[in-house]
Amino acid sequence: MSDEQTGGKSHMSDAAIRIEGLRKTYRGGKGQPEKQALKGIDLTVPRGSVFGLLGPNGAGKSTLINILAGLVVKSAGNVSIWGFNQDQNPRSSRAAIGVMPQELNLDPFFTPRGALEVQAGLYGVPKAQRRSDEILELVGLSDKAEAYARTLSGGMRRRLLLAKALVHHPKILVLDEPTAGVDIELRQMLWSNVRKLNEQGMTIILTTHYLEEAQEMCDEIAIINHGEKIAQDSTANLLGRMDSRTMVIVPDSPVVDLPATDGVEATLRDDGSLVLQYSSALTSAEQVLESVRAASIRIRDVRTEEADLEDVFLALTSSRADEPVDDQDQPRSGMHRVKL
C-alpha cells in the first residue's frame, strides 16, 4: 500500500520531513563542469519543532527548499514530507508544506483577498474550507484586502507571501529569509505569528542570516556548507560544542602589561577591561587567573561571556570550508574550537 493509502503514518510519529541521501547536480554550460549543489544530505526535521536551516550563501539551502516545494527535481535520494514519499505521492507531499519565498513574486493586479482565493483554488481547497479573511487578519492585511498588490509596501507584500503560504492549511511552513530587509515592526509581527502557528502544532523551517533570530526561535538547527550537512543538533547542544571561553576582568587600576601565557589571548577593551580568550580543553580558568596575578593585576570584578550561535556558525563553516572564504566570514578570534 502507498503512504497515501495508509494515511502516510509510517514516519508521521517522529518526523515532519525525512531526507535521505539527497543529491542535486546541475549540468554545466558548454565546456563547464557539472555543479553539485547537494552532496548526499541526510536530514530529519522533528514534528512540531521550529527548525533552523543555516548556511552561507551558496551552501545549497535554496536548492533544498525548492526540492521540498516541488520546484526543483532532485538528482538522487529520498524525500518524505509528513509521511508522504515525494516520488510516490507528489500531490500529497506538496499539500503538506507551505513555502514563503524570499523573492517578492506577486501578481500586481490581484488584491490580497483575490491572491489568496486563487492560491487556494490551485491547491484544490473547497470554498467552504477557505479562510482568506482569517489569514489576512493574522498577517495584518485586513484593511488592505481589496487593494491591488502593486500598491502595497514591501513589508505588506512580505506579509502577503506569508498569507499565501498558509491558504491550504499546511502541516509544515518554510520561511526562506522572512525578515531580510524588513523593519523591526514587521519582524516582530512575523515572529509573533510564527510562535502562534507553532503553538497550534505547525512545524516551522526557518532559513535566516540573522543568527540571533535562529538562536532565539529555533529548537533545533542544521548547518549546511558546500552542499553537505556539517552539523545538526538542538540549539542548546550546538552552543555547548564551543569550548572557547571568554573571561572579562575589570582591574583595580589601568593595565600596563598584558598577561603572557600559552593558550591565552589577552586584549584590552576601550573601557579598560581585560579580555582573556582561551580553550577550555587546553587551559583551565585557574591557569588564566594565575596569569593575571603573575602580571600584578588586581581584580575588581570578573565575569565570563558565553559563546553564541554566530561563534558556532563561523567556526563550523570556516573549519569545514573546501575553498577560501571572505575575510568577513572568518571567526572573530583565532580561539574558537568546536567539538564535533
Q: Would you say residue 144 has pLDDT above 50?
A: yes
* Helical axes 154-166 vs 112-122, angle rounded to 10°: 30
Question: In the structure grid, which three cell numbers stand for residue 200, read together?
Answer: 497550534
> Could you tell me the three cell numbers for 167?
491558504
What rounded mean pLDDT belongs to the chain?
Answer: 85
Look at residue 165 and give its three-state secondary structure.
Answer: helix
Contacting residues for 204 by C-beta, under 8 A, at least 6 apart: 49, 50, 51, 172, 173, 174, 175, 194, 197, 198
Residue 242: predicted pLDDT: 66
> Comparing 17-234 with 243-305, is the CATH topology the same?
no
7 torsion bin: left (phi>0), alpha (psi -120 to 50), beta (else)? left
Could you tell me the three cell numbers for 279? 580553550
Contact (Cβ atoms closer than 8 angstroms) between residue 45 and residue 203: yes
Determine the distance from the C-alpha atom of residue 324 to the mean position of all C-alpha atoms in its chain, rounded to a whole number. 23
Determine how β-strand 264-268 pairs with β-strand 274-279. antiparallel
CATH, range 17-234: 3.40.50.300
pLDDT tens digit sequence for 55-102: 888 899 999 999 999 999 999 999 999 999 999 999 999 999 999 998
Banded pLDDT at 26 (limits 50, 70, 90): very high
Q: For residues 26 and 41, what is the distance between their CA atoms, to the nearest angstrom?
A: 16
Q: What is the pLDDT of residue 4?
A: 42
Contact present, 100 and 167 (Cβ < 8 Å): no
| 243-305 placed in CATH 3.30.70 | yes
Residue 338 has pLDDT above 50, yes or no: no
Q: Which residues pair with 338 in a beta bridge?
A: 242
Nearest to 51 by CA among 170, 171, 173: 173
Written as one letter, the residue type at 160 is L
CA distance 36 to 294: 54
Question: Taking the CB of residue 238, how many other CB atoms lie within 10 A of it?
Answer: 27
**Cell 598577561, residue located:** 259
List C-alpha distances in Å: 292 to 107, 174, 235, 258: 64, 49, 33, 8
* Rounded alpha-carbon distances, angstroms, from residue 274 to 108, 170, 258, 278: 56, 52, 8, 13
Instruction: Compute the distance between CA of residue 316 and CA of residue 55 in angstroms, rounded to an integer.
Output: 10
- Tens digits of residue pLDDT in 210-265: 888 888 899 999 999 999 999 999 988 887 766 678 899 999 999 988 998 888 98
- The pLDDT, as a whole number, for residue 256 is 87
Residue ranges of domains in the chain: 17-234, 243-305
Query: Which pLDDT score, from 0 to 100, does residue 272 have?
Result: 93
Q: For residue range 104-122, what is the model confidence (pLDDT) as tens digits?
A: 888 888 999 999 999 999 9
- Contact predicate 122/163, CB 8 Å: no
Question: Hey, what's the cell of 180?
Answer: 531580510
Residues counted in the chain: 340
- The whole-number pLDDT of residue 281 equals 73
Q: Which residues contact 261 (CB under 8 A, 6 or more apart)?
A: 283, 287, 288, 290, 291, 294
Given this model, what pLDDT does residue 306 score?
Answer: 67
Amino acid at 207: T
| Per-residue confidence band for 330, with pLDDT thresholds at 50, 70 and 90 | very low
- Burial call 174-201: b when 16+ CB within 10 Å, e when fewer: bbbbbbeebeeebbebbbebbeebbeee
134-139-142 Cα angle (round to 5): 60
